[in-house]
Amino acid sequence: MQTSQSHPPTHYLLAFSRIVTGMVFIFSGFIKANDPTGFGYKLEEYFHVFGTVFLNDHAVAIAVVICGLEMLLGVLLLLGFWGRTVAWGLLLLILFFTFLTFYSAFFEVVTSCGCFGDAIPLTPWQSFGKDLVLLLLILVIFINREQIRPLVSDRYTQSIITVVVVVISLGIGIYTLNFLPFIDFLPYKKGNNLPKLMTLPEGQVGDQYEIIYTLKNKATGVEKRVSDKVYLAEELWKDENWEIIGDPESKLVKKGYQIAIPDLLISDANGDDVTHELIENPYYNLLIVAWDLEKTNTEALRKINALVMNAAEAYNVRAVLLTASSTQEAERISDELNLLTEIFYADAVPLKSMVRANPGVLLMQHGTVIDKWHYNTLPDFDTLDQLYFSKAYQDE
């Protein structure tokens, strides 16, 4: 009886809420800090929806701060430091997140919230449900915030630990931003075979759609909507009393197998498709990805160009530059830097997924990603030669 008085039910509920909320915030912050560039792209979608596109240039910096704040609040909540301040921070943050996910789901403006990055894709409604649960837990924490007791009572020690947590929380995002994610959850990760991920596996069925026609009776003016199956089965196309008006609509009937890479299309300056020719090259080849040449690191391109020159001279390694920029911009920067690469074009979306760097480099062979680098981590030619090129030459 004495135990129940010293530990009332609210004590256990508060402890449970703190542990669950703290762990979720730490995990959510870390998994997004693993890829702040990707989270920044997601923020740009929200900026577009709310008419704040002027923030696009700062999206990645904002992403790093948000990820760091999530991890910081999660750790401080578990440690019990600055209880009232942390409770207020959690409440304001979850209210903002809950509004954002509800707005995205209800108005169907953002198809994936990015709460857990690319590691655990959630639909907006799933994210909204998750935020509602967290909101309830955080309300328990907020109401009982005065009962939160720190694991370490000394304020000086608390301050030192808090500073360390701040540095680590922000440092993770800054590190992965300037190098590459610790864990690559995207389909272009090292070891993946791109052609296989671009095709539907045998035995799998893709999304199934039906076509909806709007028909109008020429005599009565009555309109009706029918599916393509009904249209063909009842041979309405033979009935001269009915005519199709407007454009047919495509409606998803059944969700099928989702191809990991559905949108990669590489073309040359003439618009000809060269996707498979490039990615299925049986020899080592270097893909330099600079999706936006206006914002790319030109000094990094110079260093990559020197590497390409050595690789081409020693082993005739093919090197291509992939970009979403215009032909004029590509030719301008190619002339300015005397680039030795061939230049091809693709949509920005798959290029951003290939490597979280502008520019970044992929080493490929037979359609498989052998390795990939941020421009800050790209090894010199001698290292690449020792690791890859010379071995392949000896094997031949």
pLDDT tens, position by position, 251-267: 888 888 889 999 999 99
Tokens at 274, concatenated? 């060269």
Q: Which residue has the higher pLDDT, 232 or 94?
A: 94
Q: Are 178 and 374 in contact (CB under 8 A)?
A: yes
pLDDT confidence tier of residue 1, bands split at 50, 70 and 90: very low
- pTM of this structure: 0.84
Please name the amino acid found at residue 274. Answer: V
CA angle 174, 37, 173 (to 5 degrees): 20
Q: What digits encode the pLDDT tens for the residues 104-114?
A: 888 877 777 67
Q: Is the pLDDT of residue 103 over 80?
A: yes
Pick from 84, 87, 66: nearest CA to 22: 87
To the nearest whole number, what is the mean pLDDT of the chain? 91
Q: Is the pLDDT of residue 395 over 70?
A: no
Cα(282)–Cα(275) distance, integer angstroms: 14
pLDDT confidence tier of residue 121, bands split at 50, 70 and 90: confident
Contacts for 3 with CB less than 8 Å, ≥ 6 apart = none
Q: What digits encode the pLDDT tens for the residues 324-383?
A: 999 999 999 999 999 999 999 999 999 999 999 999 999 999 999 999 999 999 999 999
- Output the pLDDT for position 394: 59
Cβ count near 148 (within 10 Å): 20
- Output the pLDDT for position 347: 95
Q: Is the pLDDT of residue 294 over 70?
A: yes
- 188 CA to centre of own chain: 12
Q: Is the pLDDT of residue 5 over 70?
A: no
Q: What digits encode the pLDDT tens for the residues 230-251?
A: 888 888 878 888 888 888 888 8
Pick from 50, 53, 59: nearest CA to 352: 59
What single string gives the DSSP state of each residue in 271-302? --B-HHHHHT-SS-EEEEE-S-TTTS-HHHHH
- Output the pLDDT for position 10: 77
Q: Are 341 and 309 in contact (CB under 8 A)?
A: no
- Output the pLDDT for position 7: 61
Q: What digits encode the pLDDT tens for the residues 302-316?
A: 999 999 999 999 998
Q: Are 75 and 165 in contact (CB under 8 A)?
A: yes
pLDDT confidence tier of residue 385, bands split at 50, 70 and 90: very high
Q: How big, in percent rounded to 5, are the helix, strand and coil portions of the chain?
A: 55, 15, 35
Q: Is the pLDDT of residue 3 over 50?
A: no
Partner residues linked to 392 by β-bridges: none
Q: Is the pLDDT of residue 139 over 90?
A: yes
Give the DSSP H/E element, type plus range, for residue 312: helix 298-315
Q: Is the pLDDT of residue 2 over 60?
A: no
Residue percentage of the chain with pLDDT more than 90 = 71
Half-sphere exposure of 208 (CA within 13 A, CB side): 7
Pick from 373, 365, 362: nearest CA to 392: 365
Residue percentage of the chain with pLDDT more than 70 = 96
Cβ count near 164 (within 10 Å): 11
CA angle 89, 31, 262 (to 5 degrees): 130
Q: Can you tell me the mean pLDDT for 169-198?
A: 95
- Output the pLDDT for position 204: 85
- Output the pLDDT for position 65: 96
Q: Is the pLDDT of residue 115 over 80?
A: no
Characterize 75-110 residue by residue with b for buried, 16 or more Cβ atoms within 10 angstroms of its Cβ, and e for exposed.
Answer: bbbbbbbbbeebbebbbebbeebbebbbbbbeeeeb
